[in-house]
Structure 1
Amino acid sequence: MKDKIVLVTGASSGMGKATCIEIAKLGAKVIMVCRDKQRGIEALEEVKQQSNNPSVELMLCDLGSIKEIKEFTKEFKKRFEKLDILINNAGVILPGKHRTKDGLELQFGVNHLGHFFLTKELLDLIKKSPTGRIINVASGAHKIGRIHFEDINLDKNYTLWRAYAQSKLANILFTYELARKLKGTNVTANCLHPGAVATNMGINRKTGFGTLITKTLKPFFQTPREGADTAIYLATSSDVQGITGKYFYKKKPIKSSMLSYNEHLAEKLWQFSEEIIEGISSRKS
């Protein structure tokens, strides 16, 4: 992994941090993308220490803000000439209904739209890598997901799992459509289900809600390092060189839901996502 530049979102804790540590151990230059500055600084020190790799950097970005993603990618392009591996790891699942800075339902806004826009903005740099890889962390929860185009924020019928499953189905539809659009290039796009992992996802950091449930279930869950295993494999293994448009679990390609293979739906979501971003951008300009 020497001379490779790797960007990991949601890098301040859980699977994101574990992914950064393991990839940094292999000698890559790792860019940790975090929303919270203080937690990001703490995680950066830990990653450097555990990997014994000083070539790890922290960059801040809130994936719930199109404006911040634009500023972040502009800064990234100034500093780097290529990007070898993009790991879209950041994920939100939060009790109660929340909105992004742009007014979108939080899970759809961060888990899908933020990563959709980040990837599109960095695509030129990824194409400059001899073997560019895009890895999206999805979830088995996509199987109960539907894309509610007529009510994307789920204002009429919101539940936490409905919102989360929608965002995770969107991750897979996006991955497959991206792989189709990148056909004939040196860039691959794959996604994965990490399995049940004991992280801080599902805990409201302001109120602490969800802490007890998470602690109770922790013994039955994988560690963040175990959960990160497939993402690390997809980022670093020569076994998957040239493999694209697949959904992985435990380092093996498996079938995702029937709905996730609907090309018309994937195309519609792509267009829909672009229109939302255009709408937000025109409002802010």
Structure 2
Amino acid sequence: MFHLLLLSAALLGAYLFLTRTLFRSSRCEGNAAMTGKTVIITGGNTGIGKATALHLAKRGARVVLACRNREKAERAMAEIQQETGSANVLFMQLDLASLKSVRCFSERFLQTESRLDLLINNAGLVADGRTEDGFGIEFGVNHLGHFLLTYLLVERLKEAGGGRVVTVSSMAYRWGRVDPDALAVNRHLGTGRYSWQFFQAYCNSKLCNMLFTHELAKRLKGSNVSCYSVHPELFIHSCKITTTSNSTKTD
């Protein structure tokens, strides 16, 4: 009986600790006006992406929800429009598991939108399987799709006079590793039938997000585009980007 009470107390303590630290209720402190600015948010129909879209719409931004599922995206769009009163929230279909879809999305965006101020590479998953192009699903969606999307849109970001790329990584990158030889042979960063194997592949993909941001910042040095990689809790808690141009935020 004593051991049971001790275990219950330990679980309660762990729960209280997590809800007051990692899982605490977040608030957005940013209040800069976004009127006249255009934002793309991948996976903007749910979770952090939807919360970010809602906040930016309130601040006057033109928000593009880049999502795979049309029904869910249109429902999220309607909810955001109703809550914010903004008519500048729209949906464009994007499946990051298909490089063809990434190219089609980019082409459509460049044809229909005259500017891009902020690209938020937010969408991600933990799963097993392959993309349409044969890559591991976590590598393909979490990293490769966003890599191509950023590459195709970076010139439009430069035109905005202070464009920004925010890639939502995770502190899980600390447990990631990338084996270039295995990647070349298998086209994935890990697979298997067990949840811990999925998680390892997720960590590996988040490390790719970090490395991508570092390299992107180097290549864009001297331009007016800034690059950031953030842990999701930090991102949703602060919603403020106040560093100098071409820096890389990784903590």
SS at match of 1:233: coil
Which of 113, 124, 141 is equivalent to 2:155?
124
What is the distance in 2 between the residues matched to 1:146 and 1:127? Answer: 32
Asked if the contact 2:116–2:157 (Cα under 8 Å) also holds between the matched residues in 1, the reply is yes
Asked if the contact 1:98–1:105 (Cα under 8 Å) also holds between the matched residues in 2, the reply is yes
What is the distance in 1 between the residues matched to 2:217 and 2:150? Answer: 12
Relative distance call for 1:36 and 1:228 in structure 2 (3 A) is: same
Which of 225, 233, 251 is equivalent to 1:187?
225
SS at match of 2:119: strand
Amino acid at match of 1:118: L
Query: Any idea what the Cα deviations from partners look like across 1:61-88, whole Å, max 9, x if unmatched?
Result: 1011111111111110101122100000
Structure of higher CA gyration radius: 2
Query: Any idea what the Cα deviations from partners look like across 1:177-218, whole Å, max 9, x if unmatched?
Result: 0000000000000110123xxxxxxxxxxxxxxxxxxxxxxx
What is the distance in 2 between the residues matched to 1:154 and 1:53? Answer: 41
Which of 38, 56, 74 is equivalent to 2:71?
38
**What do you get for the CA RMSD once the two structures are aligned?**
1.7
What is the deviation of 1:151?
2.2
Matches within 5 A, 1:1-285: 1-94=34-127, 97-152=128-183, 153-154=188-189, 159-195=197-233, 228-230=236-238, 232-234=239-241, 239-242=242-245, 244-247=247-250, 254=251
Relative distance call for 1:80 and 1:143 in structure 2 (3 A) is: same
SS at match of 2:164: strand
Relative distance call for 1:81 and 1:169 in structure 2 (3 A) is: same
Aligned to 1:219: none
Asked if the contact 2:37–2:117 (Cα under 8 Å) also holds between the matched residues in 1, the reply is yes
What is the deviation of 1:229?
3.1
What is the distance in 2 between the residues matched to 1:227 and 1:184? Answer: 25
What is the distance in 1 between the residues matched to 2:201 and 2:190? Answer: 10
Relative distance call for 1:39 and 1:183 in structure 2 (3 A) is: same
Structure 1 gaps, min length 5? 196-225, 248-253, 255-285
Asked if the contact 1:180–1:245 (Cα under 8 Å) also holds between the matched residues in 2, the reply is no
Amino acid at match of 1:129: A
Q: Choose 15-24 or 145-154, whichever is displaced more.
A: 145-154
Relative distance call for 1:35 and 1:92 in structure 2 (3 A) is: same
What is the deviation of 1:241?
4.7
Amino acid at match of 1:114: G
Asked if the contact 2:70–2:93 (Cα under 8 Å) also holds between the matched residues in 1, the reply is yes
What is the distance in 1 between the residues matched to 2:215 and 2:58? Answer: 32
* Count of matched residue positions in the alignment of Structure 1 and Structure 2: 211
What is the distance in 2 between the residues matched to 1:31 and 1:229? Answer: 22
What is the distance in 2 between the residues matched to 1:29 and 1:82? Answer: 10
What is the deviation of 1:98?
1.4
TM-score (norm: length of structure 2): 0.80
Q: Identity of paired residues, percent? A: 38
Amino acid at match of 2:124: G
TM-score (norm: length of structure 1): 0.71
What is the distance in 2 between the residues matched to 1:63 and 1:33? Answer: 9
Asked if the contact 1:29–1:55 (Cα under 8 Å) also holds between the matched residues in 2, the reply is yes
Aligned to 2:29: none
Relative distance call for 1:2 and 1:104 in structure 2 (3 A) is: same
Relative distance call for 1:46 and 1:162 in structure 2 (3 A) is: same
Aligned to 1:203: none
Relative distance call for 1:241 and 1:100 in structure 2 (3 A) is: same
Relative distance call for 1:193 and 1:156 in structure 2 (3 A) is: closer
What is the deviation of 1:54?
1.1
